[in-house]
Structure 1
Amino acid sequence: MKFTLTHYRKAGRTHEEFMEWLVLVHLPKAIPIFQKHGITGYALFDTPATINDPFRQAIQQVNPTWEVADYDCFIEYTLPSVDTITNVMGDPEWIEAVSDQYDYVDVTKALLSVGTHTQYLAGGNVLSPPTIL
């Protein structure tokens, strides 16, 4: 299973401040909790304006109807089951680990998704033929 989450930084915080908190303060507290609950993967997709703004301008030339997402990061978790999400969120250690998130994260804008992950291409090699699951 994959669980994804987008985050926007809190108003008044720079992207750099937000990412510094996420990587250097939050993650060291969070990773042991992830491991405790059987989460086997965590990936952080950083989307700074220095990359997104020029890309947004370029993509408008390709297809003006497309929108480039404006969130600050996209997080992807690999987990054993959907229940893992509620187990982590209910863990007292997790509640403590995210106690300072309101200083850095605009939690009202979080966008979550859950589903399966099938990788068809890696390292330029086809891993499995395309099929409908």
Structure 2
Amino acid sequence: MVPKAFEAGYSHTSGFRKVVKATILVKKKEGMSDEDFIEYYNNHHAQKAVPILQRHGIISYSLTYHLGRDRRLIQDIMHNNAKLLQYDAICTFVFPDYLALAKFLYDKEGAALNSDHENFMDDSQMKMMVGDEFMLIENGEKVG
């Protein structure tokens, strides 16, 4: 049983997924190509994280890239008026509650992954946002 303080969502509300979504903004290591960044993150770092995350009840884990190609395309679409974040990837974890997130963050194997950051990212630039997700449309359908 999860203590009430660690439950997901906001009390007396509806429309939230009742999950804990951790979004991490990542900047690639200086001088690393987009291709090398994707290859390392997808096939090395993320693959090491998967079994640790699964051990702590992760619901989903995804990486979204925002690299040269993406920046050029969105600037073309928006006639160079897009105010883009200066980050190269978004790492998204969805957990059932804060306790599961905390267990992952303090897992010895999970903590050991931090030393791998130097191989592909600038750890000093990493930013995090954590909260629940209010759903308006899911699978193409209006929610609620």
* Partner residue in 2 for 1:79: 95
* Partner residue in 2 for 1:40: 59
Checking the alignment, whether the CA contact within 8 Å between 2:26 and 2:89 is kept in structure 1 is yes
Residue 96, structure 1, aligned to residue 112, structure 2: yes
Q: Identity rate of aligned residues, in percent?
A: 23
Inter-partner Cα distance in structure 1 for 2:26 and 2:54: 22
Alignment of 1:1-133 (within 5 A): 1-60=20-79, 64=81, 67-128=83-144
Structure 1 residue identity aligned to 2:27: Y
Inter-partner Cα distance in structure 2 for 1:82 and 1:76: 15
Question: In angstroms, what is the RMSD of aligned CA positions?
Answer: 1.8
Runs (4 or more) in structure 1 with deviation over 4 Å come to none
Corresponding pairs, count: 125
Which segments of 5 or more consecutive residues in structure 1 lack a partner in the other structure? 129-133
Which segments of 5 or more consecutive residues in structure 2 lack a partner in the other structure? 1-19
Structure 2 residue identity aligned to 1:50: R
Inter-partner Cα distance in structure 2 for 1:122 and 1:103: 36
Structure 1 residue identity aligned to 2:129: S
Q: 1:71 Cα deviation (Å)?
A: 1.1
TM-score w.r.t. length of structure 2: 0.77
